[in-house]
Amino acid sequence: MVFHTVLPALLGKDVLKRIKIIVTDGDSQEISQLDDAIASFFPEAYRIRCSWHIIDRGWNKKVKVALGGKSRKKRALASLGQPRQKAAPLTQLNKTARTIYRWMFSWAQPSYCETEEEYFLSKALFMKFVASRQVREVLGWGVGDEIIRFTREIVIPHEERMAYFKRHDLFHLETHTNCGHEGTNNGMKHCATPVMPQTRLDKAVQTLHLNATMKAGSKSIDVCRKSNSKKSWSDSHTSKNVTDPCESMLQTEWQLSSTWTPHRVSQYRWLLIHSADDSCSDESSEEDEESEDESEDESSKVTGSSSQTFVCSYMNY
């Protein structure tokens, strides 16, 4: 009803045609209805599964290995308003479990496995890591088998709808979970002016409009304050004109700017090569200069360069 009638009437068919990604959890009824609606109203949309529902919920049900840190469970009403207790220090078991847990999330997130080859390589290394003797000694010999079984039976079967390389070429703002939207829905039900299932439609619309107006105003004030305030942790001239995340990205790129080497490939295209280790590159160049034979010098330069880690990027103008 919602996907076939409400959304087309509320947003219009032109808006629905521009939707690229639809994220769902494990609700089979919702998935079946969405698949039918996608064929009729969302011709450009690609449905993916929420990585958090697959990995986190499955980890708590099947693996049950503590990740450590603060508890994410809701506190009792009697404890609300009281300061939370500090989390216990992470043990070696917690740290190893977190490594495995976050490794699985890397398959759904950008900047990790962006091609099918990288994904299969990461998956093979993951299985080797979990099955290794060192990991089994930390987690327990039976826990490693549980994690491998959980990965093969719960996570990998959803790779078609979860793996990032499947949607790498789609514009989707790197979305891989719908937890933020569920948090928004939960906030609408438990805020100071909630919208409940028994609320009349006209009253619900008025309440949602009021909440949205107040939230938009609060965000606008927050963005304006951050954009026009001086960042004490940055001394650049841009720090007082941009937000914190933007300034952080600018600082990161500026610090790496000296390690980029541009090569003009064509009239409007440049190849940027970034060396991850300048010291090793300098040492290899010094050794090359001491070589007596020029031909050996050239070959050693090539060998020295290939031993480094490079990040290449094409830029079009």
| Digitized pLDDT (tens) for each residue of the chain, 317 residues in all | 678 787 888 888 888 888 888 999 888 888 888 888 888 888 889 999 999 999 999 999 999 888 887 665 665 656 666 777 777 788 999 999 999 999 999 999 988 998 999 999 999 999 999 999 999 999 988 899 999 999 999 999 999 999 999 998 888 888 899 888 877 777 777 788 888 878 888 888 888 888 889 888 988 898 888 777 777 888 888 888 888 888 888 888 888 778 888 888 888 888 878 775 544 444 444 444 444 444 434 433 333 333 344 454 554 54
Phi, psi of 21 (to 5 degrees): -130, 135
Phi, psi of 27 (to 5 degrees): -70, 110
pLDDT at 285: 41
DSSP state of 203: H
Q: Which of 32, 59, 64 is nearest to 47 (CA)?
A: 32
Q: At what angle do helices 51-58 and 92-106 cross, to 10 degrees?
A: 150
Beta-bridge partner residues of 312: 273
| Structure-token pair, residue 209 | 């409009």
User: Residues near 148 by Cβ (< 8 Å), separated by ≥ 6?
Assistant: 127, 130, 131
DSSP state of 26: S
| Kind plus residue range of the DSSP H or E element containing 273 | strand 269-275
Is the pTM above the cut of 0.85? no
Q: Which of 37, 46, 98 is nearest to 67 (CA)?
A: 98
Cα-based angle 229, 235, 239 (whole degrees, multiple of 5):
35
Question: Is the CB of residue 126 less than 8 Å from the CB of residue 151?
Answer: yes
pLDDT at 303: 36
Residue 82: exposure state from Cβ atoms within 10 A (0-12, 13-18, ≥19)? exposed
Question: Is the CB of residue 131 less than 8 Å from the CB of residue 89?
Answer: no
pLDDT at 309: 44
pLDDT at 284: 40
User: Residues near 274 by Cβ (< 8 Å), separated by ≥ 6?
Assistant: 256, 259, 260, 261, 310, 311, 312, 313
Q: Which of 273, 270, 274, 275 is nearest to 314 (CA)?
A: 270
Q: Which of 310, 45, 306, 40 is nearest to 167 (CA)?
A: 45
Length of the chain: 317
Counting other chains too, the contacts that 134-141 makes at CB distance below 8 Å and 24 or more residues apart are: 135/96, 135/100, 138/92, 138/93, 138/96, 139/65, 139/93, 139/96, 139/97
Count the neighbouring beta carbons within 10 Å of the beta carbon of residue 313. Answer: 10
